[in-house]
């Protein structure tokens, strides 16, 4: 994919007849394209770098198929819910079973990454997408209104601001699920990573949290200082615990390619999930092509009393801010 002209362009039509658009934003050295399908971050281009820094496609069919998690905004609850159940306001609820025949992954068939969002506002530097989720969809209570605002800012920075309101107590945990490769290579081998986390969440063979909050000290998951990574060393499908509650925006992760291109992720969220794309595929690509970096709350939180709360009541609002800041050598 090559960088696009700033503006709005058609991106195809779904099988249900819904038109999908691509919105391209730009300011300074940074250009980014967003799709109304799944509120997906399709591409990010830094001036002087001849490839997109995030993995995307120019075909809507790819996003409706194997690439449904590439760059999309996943909610209302990203990641796993053990046993496809969770308590909400003291009452058990059941959700779609779509992972290993037992669990819920990315909210099942009702996930926001599988929907066409409405383009509410747009300018050269920002766009706002909105979505309505009806009560009971996928088992989640509440009529919920979701807005996502992407903006390109000074300092080659891309910002995402999320807002959710509900009329009944529900669960909310959103994440952008972009895959990053700062070198434009076949895999992320040779990148270096730093994560500002003292703890991580070990998982079961089904990749659901065990409930343990384990120190990174003395483990292969210790990335408190920048060090190289390659496929399998280590294997990632891991939530790093940044804090026990949402905080002011702060830098939490650094990724540096062999090319010298670097990415700094800042977020308000208590956790950041890293996935090594071992089973992710783009048409024409292979495993480990990029590294998924997902700012979010801790996964499966309602089923673990010691995890940060992801419930949202009618008198509350959910607000997340995440930024990606780029620099070239």
Tens of pLDDT, residue by residue over 204-232, are 999 999 999 999 999 999 999 999 999 99
In this structure, are strands 250-256 and 192-195 parallel, antiparallel, or unpaired?
antiparallel
Peptide bond preceding 234 in cis form (omega within 30 of 0): yes
State both tokens at 12. Answer: 């195809």
How far is CA 17 from its chain centroid?
27
Cβ contact 306:145 at 8 Å: no
Cβ contact 300:242 at 8 Å: no
Q: Is the dihedral of CA 14, 285, 293, 266 positive or negative?
A: negative
Mean pLDDT of 234-241: 98
H-assigned helices in the chain: 60-64
Q: Find the radius of gyration of the CA atoms of the chain.
A: 18
CB atoms near residue 194 (< 10 Å):
17
pTM of model > 0.95: yes
CB atoms near residue 39 (< 10 Å):
30
**Measured CA distances, 34 to 54, 58, 60, 285 (Å):** 12, 12, 12, 21
pLDDT per residue as tens digits for the range 108-133: 999 999 999 999 999 999 999 999 99
For residue 153, what pLDDT is reported? 98
Q: Which domains does the chain have, with CATH numbers?
A: 7-327 (2.70.98.10)
Residue 279 pLDDT exceeds 90:
yes
In this structure, are strands 85-88 and 311-312 parallel, antiparallel, or unpaired?
unpaired
Mean pLDDT of 26-39: 98
pLDDT per residue as tens digits for the range 169-180: 999 999 999 999
CB atoms near residue 216 (< 10 Å):
18
Distance CA 244, CA 312 (A): 16
Mean pLDDT of the chain, nearest integer: 97
Distance CA 289, CA 188 (A): 6
Which residues touch 64 (CB under 8 Å, ≥6 apart)?
Answer: 14, 37
For residue 4, what pLDDT is reported? 77
How far is CA 126 from its chain centroid?
19
């Amino acid at each position: 994919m090559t960088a696009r002209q700033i503006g709005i362009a058609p991106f195809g039509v779904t099988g249900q007849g819904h038109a999908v658009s691509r919105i391209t934003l730009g300011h300074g050295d940074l250009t980014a394209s967003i799709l109304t399908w799944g509120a997906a971050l399709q591409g990010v281009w830094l001036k002087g770098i001849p490839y997109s820094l995030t993995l995307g496609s120019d075909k809507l069919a790819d996003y409706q198929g194997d690439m449904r998690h590439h760059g999309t905004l996943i909610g209302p609850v990203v990641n796993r819910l053990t046993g496809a159940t969770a308590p909400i306001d003291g009452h058990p609820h059941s959700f779609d079973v779509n992972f290993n025949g037992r669990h819920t992954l990315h909210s099942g068939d009702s996930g926001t990454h599988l929907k066409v969002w409405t383009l509410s506002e747009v300018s050269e530097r920002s766009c706002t997408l909105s979505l309505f989720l009806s009560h009971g969809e996928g088992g989640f209570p509440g009529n919920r209104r979701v807005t996502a605002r992407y903006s390109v800012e000074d300092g080659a920075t891309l910002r995402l601001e999320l807002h959710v309101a509900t009329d009944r107590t529900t669960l909310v945990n959103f994440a952008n699920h972009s895959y990053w490769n700062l070198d434009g290579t076949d895999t992320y081998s040779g990148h270096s990573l730093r994560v500002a986390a003292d703890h991580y969440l070990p998982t079961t063979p089904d990749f659901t949290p065990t409930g343990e909050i384990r120190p990174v000290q003395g483990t292969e998951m210790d990335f408190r200082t920048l060090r190289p990574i390659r496929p399998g060393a280590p294997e990632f499908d891991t939530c790093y615990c940044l804090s026990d509650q949402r905080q002011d925006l702060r830098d939490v992760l650094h990724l540096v390619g062999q090319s010298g291109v670097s990415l700094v992720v800042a977020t308000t969220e208590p956790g950041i999930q890293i996935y090594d794309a071992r089973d992710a595929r783009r048409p024409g690509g292979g495993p480990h092509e990029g590294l998924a970096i997902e700012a979010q709350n801790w996964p499966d939180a309602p089923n673990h009393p010691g995890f940060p709360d992801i419930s949202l009541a009618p008198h509350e609002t959910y607000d997340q801010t995440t930024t990606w800041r780029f620099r070239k050598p």
